[in-house]
Amino acid sequence: MSTKITEADLPKSLTPVEAVEAAYSQEMAEVASKLIRGLPTLIECDKELAPYLFMNVRDRLRQQKLQCIYLDGRQRDPQQGAVPMGLIGTMIAQLRDAVRGATERRVVVLPHLDLLTTSQGGLTGEAREVIPLLYENPELVWLGFKDPSFPLPKVIENLFPHWLSILGTSRNRLHHLITQKESRKFGKDFSPWQLYKHVSGVNAVRLRRLLSTLEGEDYPADPKRAYAQLRQATLSGQMEIPSVDLDKDIGGYAKVKAKLKAEILDSLQKRDKAMDNKSIDKEEVARLEELIPRGMIFWGPPGTGKTYFAKAIAASIGAAITIVSGPELKSKWVGESEENLRQIFHKARQSAPSIIVFDELDSFATARGTYTGSGVEHSMVNQLLTEMDGFHKDELVFVVGTTNFVESLDPALLRPGRFEFHIHIPYPDDEDRKAIFQIYDKKMRLQFTEEALEYAVNRTGNRYMTPTGTAFSGDHLNALCRAVARLRMRESITDETTPKLIERAITEFDEKKEVHEKDVPIVAVHEAGHFLVSIFCPNHPPPEKVTIQSDMPWAPFFTQFKQEKNRIGMSRSEMLDVLAVLYGGIEAERLVVGDVSTGASGMGSPGSDLSRASDLAEMIVEVCGMSNLAAPLRSFRNEKGEREVLSGSMAEAIDRQVNTVIVEAQARAAAILTKHKADLIKIRDELVANKTIEGERTKEIIDELRAKYPKDVGAPGPEVKLAAGAGTTTAASDDKAKPKKKDE
């Protein structure tokens, strides 16, 4: 159904009383009906609206000859010489007179119920005197007004069987609240429906005040100024309108941006077009609003821009945004945490269109039944669900939850209708990092050369880690660019930024771990072992770099391999090659030095060669079912990766298979190194001399060795014979291998 509203359809003038009647006539008629039937009613609304709602209800009750008593605490006939009792004291005295002097049915209006409660919803000292009076006279019918900022104690809530919440105005009634003169500030094609998205949370009285103070010319070509005045005036609390452009200010993340545009921004644009004043299609608008998700989960590692994306969405739709830290919502006082949530949602609805960002949502919204705290999280989750379920369809209020652990969130939050839109924001890939660097290069005037830009992208790739052991996030890239800018400022550099300058910015003040002179030969042969074994393992990524003098504090020496992108799994051959390369270091030490060091164990480090090898062997056998048993094993690991309780025979069978896989990989690495010992020593000597082998030199060594020994690439290792009971001795499909004869 399409409708069109012209300037002539709008009222010429409006008083606040007329505006309240135009906006809430249906609601006030319902309230009057309840009161006439003797049903106490509570109205939750803004303070400034309460007197006008009362006048509207009073006029309706007068037509039914029902008297109202308005207990506002003002002394109407002060006696000469009487001691002033104050607002609350006077209100209590008026209430006592109304309760004990009434002999017929009356409506008693309580406009200041919030004065009887504390900020935590408890009773004040005066309230304890008031409560008995409220329940004393059954002939009185109560009409109460509650400020949304204050919770009511249960004993007062129970007095009112009928509740009514009034927030903002209805979209279908908005055109009754705008005068013809005011509409001219929004241009010739003014549409009340377009205006609604800016004032949906503003009550009729306040809206009239805002519209009457609009400045500017009539029928402007661009009505942005008028809308901007309204938008600024409707902000409440800590709400702000960000200025983050999704494309210009956020580099890379093409898939994330495409999903946000397709699922949210494009839908909102289509809805706005459907609200064009020339042909307002209410049914189409309602249909589109049903499609727009109101709850979103942005999940991914820290520093990847989850909150920044929320700000960009807010800026794209002209929405106000408030960012709430999950831990800050919690309170030790009973009920205060839930009240904090109520207040956040109330202010967001007043400032609609708006976005609430719950940073670290998992801090209070983890799955119910898993809490280890005081239990307040359970109530907070319930309150959050209640608030989200209470949204009106035509309200543009979005809720974004950011988390690093999406799997820990309460499932009730993730169902359709709540946080149904999930988007992963991972660490930036090469293209993302390049786009991010280009943005910061322009903003900070860093003057990156093309070579410097490529170096920065590669230097922050997956093969490198930050000093804290994580990949480089958007925040790390920002910090790197600021470090470059400070370095240029300190040294008054005006030339272009070079790769050398970028490396200085990354490592200049890092605490580097120098390899002791005595350890250099051992470290060199260890890394040369990894390097050489990988060359003769065809299913392993080829080496790209090996160094014994790294600038990275978390890895003073390492061997780096070519990274293969977009892999979703590994074959058994690939996993066995990785296992052999992991043992290349310790076997090279055993072969050349005649002893082994703690390098492979990392002194118990979970990222050491031996630790990774053990985990990989267990995965091959126990998780992936790639063992030599007649039937593949199922996974015997729980969600935490811990082994379940097994029978003795099953645990023994698994351990034998794991041991076999490890010993075979160890023997294979030893065989490769023994055959190519001379090449191993050459690589070691080159490492000792140059500290690093990389780039073209790496490629030369690989091509030379593979061309010289083509048959050794992928050659199987020697047959492994184990001590009795240690494990299997063949690659048969049964772990009960037949014993070998002496002449075999």
Cis peptide before 353 (omega within 30 of 0): yes
Residue of 39 and 106 predicted with greater confidence: 39
Question: Taking 50 as the threshold, does the pLDDT of residue 378 lie above it?
Answer: yes
61 neighbors 33 (Cβ within 8 angstroms)? no
pLDDT at 120: 55
Shared domain check, 447 and 465: yes
Question: Taking 70 as the threshold, does the pLDDT of residue 289 lie above it?
Answer: yes
**Any residues with CB less than 8 A from the CB of 528 and at least 6 apart, and which?**
546, 588, 680, 683, 684, 687
Domain end point (choices 507, 531, 564): 507
pLDDT at 21: 94
Query: Does 6 map to a domain?
Result: no
Residue of 434 and 552 predicted with greater confidence: 434
Query: Model confidence at 728, in pLDDT bands (50, 70, 90)?
Result: very low
pLDDT at 720: 46
* Structure tokens, 566: 């977009």
Nearest Cα neighbor of 581 from 550, 544, 609, 608 is 609
Query: Does 73 map to a domain?
Result: yes
Amino acid code (one letter) for 497: T
* Structure tokens, 189: 């094609």
pTM: 0.70
CATH (domain of 487): 1.10.8
Residue of 599 and 439 predicted with greater confidence: 439
* Structure tokens, 623: 């998780």
Shared domain check, 363 and 328: yes
Query: Model confidence at 383, in pLDDT bands (50, 70, 90)?
Result: confident
Domain that includes residue 590, residue range:
517-712
Alpha carbons 623 and 614: distance in angstroms, whole number: 13
Backbone phi, then psi, for 259, in 5-degree steps? -70, -40
Percentages helix, strand, coil for the chain (3-state, rounded to 5) are 50, 10, 40
pLDDT at 531: 93
Query: Does 147 map to a domain?
Result: yes
In the chain, pLDDT over 70 holds for what percent of residues? 82
Domain end point (choices 472, 507, 542): 507
Task: Kindly give the pairing relationship between strand 295-299 and strand 421-424.
Answer: parallel
- Starting at the edge strand that comes first in sequence, how are the strands of the sheet with 320-325 ordered? 320-325, 354-359, 397-403, 295-299, 421-424
* Overall average pLDDT of the 156-176 stretch: 88
pLDDT at 83: 46
Residue of 497 and 231 predicted with greater confidence: 497
CATH (domain of 118): 3.40.50.300
pLDDT at 435: 95
pLDDT in tens, 147-163: 887 778 888 888 899 99
Shared domain check, 584 and 525: yes
Please tell me the least confidently modeled range out of 18-22, 344-348, 603-607. Answer: 603-607
* Structure tokens, 184: 């001219």
Whole-number Cα distances in Å, 557 to 12, 523, 603: 81, 8, 15
Find tokens 């009505």 and name the residue: 223
pLDDT at 664: 92
- DSSP secondary-structure letter at 544? E
Shared domain check, 550 and 403: no
In DSSP notation, 547-566 reads ESS-S-TT-SSEEEEPPPTT
Alpha carbons 488 and 500: distance in angstroms, whole number: 12
Strand locations in 247-309, DSSP E? 280-281, 295-299
pLDDT in tens, 413-430: 787 778 888 999 999 999
Backbone phi, then psi, for 123, in 5-degree steps? -90, 135
pLDDT at 686: 92
pLDDT in tens, 47-70: 899 999 999 999 999 998 888 888
Strand locations in 50-100, DSSP E? 68-70
**Any residues with CB less than 8 A from the CB of 154 and at least 6 apart, and which?**
none
Shared domain check, 523 and 496: no
Residue of 95 and 577 predicted with greater confidence: 577
* Structure tokens, 620: 């091959």
Alpha carbons 33 and 643: distance in angstroms, whole number: 67
Query: Model confidence at 379, in pLDDT bands (50, 70, 90)?
Result: confident
Per DSSP, the three-state class of 246 is coil
Shared domain check, 88 and 62: yes
Question: Taking 80 as the threshold, does the pLDDT of residue 17 lie above it?
Answer: yes
Alpha carbons 605 and 597: distance in angstroms, whole number: 14
**Any residues with CB less than 8 A from the CB of 412 and at least 6 apart, and which?**
368, 381, 385, 418
Please tell me the least confidently modeled range out of 128-142, 304-318, 472-486. Answer: 128-142
Query: Model confidence at 362, in pLDDT bands (50, 70, 90)?
Result: confident
Shared domain check, 213 and 114: no
Question: Taking 80 as the threshold, does the pLDDT of residue 300 lie above it?
Answer: yes
Query: Model confidence at 376, in pLDDT bands (50, 70, 90)?
Result: low
pLDDT at 67: 86
Query: Does 583 map to a domain?
Result: yes
Question: Taking 70 as the threshold, does the pLDDT of residue 743 lie above it?
Answer: no
Residue of 721 and 142 predicted with greater confidence: 142
Within 13 Å of residue 571, how many CA atoms lie on the same side as its CB? 6
Residue of 378 and 388 predicted with greater confidence: 388
Query: Does 676 map to a domain?
Result: yes
pLDDT in tens, 67-79: 888 887 776 555 5
Find tokens 């993302």 and name the residue: 432
Query: Does 211 map to a domain?
Result: yes
* Structure tokens, 90: 């006077």
Alpha carbons 267 and 260: distance in angstroms, whole number: 10
Alpha carbons 179 and 427: distance in angstroms, whole number: 52
Question: Taking 60 as the threshold, does the pLDDT of residue 277 lie above it?
Answer: no
- Starting at the edge strand that comes first in sequence, how are the strands of the sheet with 162-165 ordered? 68-70, 106-110, 140-146, 41-44, 162-165
In the chain, pLDDT over 90 holds for what percent of residues? 31
| Ramachandran class of 469: left when φ > 0, alpha when ψ lies in -120 to 50, beta otherwise | left
Nearest Cα neighbor of 665 from 617, 619, 595, 628 is 617
Shared domain check, 212 and 124: no
- DSSP secondary-structure letter at 584? H
β-strand partners of 692: 547
Residue of 81 and 228 predicted with greater confidence: 228
**Any residues with CB less than 8 A from the CB of 636 and at least 6 apart, and which?**
622, 643, 644, 646, 650, 654
In DSSP notation, 381-429 reads HHHHHHHHHT--TT--EEEEEEES-GGGB-HHHHSTTSS-EEEE--S--
pLDDT in tens, 510-549: 655 666 778 888 899 999 999 999 999 999 988 988 888 7
Structural domain total, the chain:
5
Shared domain check, 495 and 537: no
Shared domain check, 436 and 419: no
Query: Model confidence at 396, in pLDDT bands (50, 70, 90)?
Result: confident
Residue of 278 and 686 predicted with greater confidence: 686
Nearest Cα neighbor of 252 from 420, 375, 126, 431 is 431
Amino acid code (one letter) for 467: P
Query: Does 224 map to a domain?
Result: yes
* Overall average pLDDT of the 660-665 stretch: 92
pLDDT in tens, 665-691: 999 999 999 999 999 999 999 988 988
pLDDT at 151: 76
pLDDT at 81: 46
Nearest Cα neighbor of 13 from 178, 173, 170, 172 is 178
| Ramachandran class of 219: left when φ > 0, alpha when ψ lies in -120 to 50, beta otherwise | left
* Structure tokens, 629: 């048993």
* Structure tokens, 384: 């959050």
Shared domain check, 341 and 444: no
CATH (domain of 581): 1.20.58.760
Query: Model confidence at 566, in pLDDT bands (50, 70, 90)?
Result: low
Alpha carbons 255 and 259: distance in angstroms, whole number: 6
Nearest Cα neighbor of 485 from 473, 499, 471, 502 is 502
Query: Does 217 map to a domain?
Result: yes
Shared domain check, 121 and 150: yes
Provide the Cα torsion 193, 198, 201, 202; round to 10°: -100
Give the helix/strand (H/E) hosting 54.
helix 50-63
pLDDT at 552: 60
pLDDT at 102: 61
* Overall average pLDDT of the 178-191 stretch: 88
Please tell me the least confidently modeled range out of 222-236, 532-546, 718-732. Answer: 718-732
Nearest-Å Rg of the Cα atoms of the chain is: 37
Pick from 59-68, 366-375, 618-627 the range whose average pLDDT is largest. 59-68
pLDDT at 407: 79
Question: Taking 60 as the threshold, does the pLDDT of residue 89 lie above it?
Answer: yes
Please tell me the least confidently modeled range out of 187-196, 302-311, 711-720. Answer: 711-720
Domain end point (choices 424, 447, 475): 424
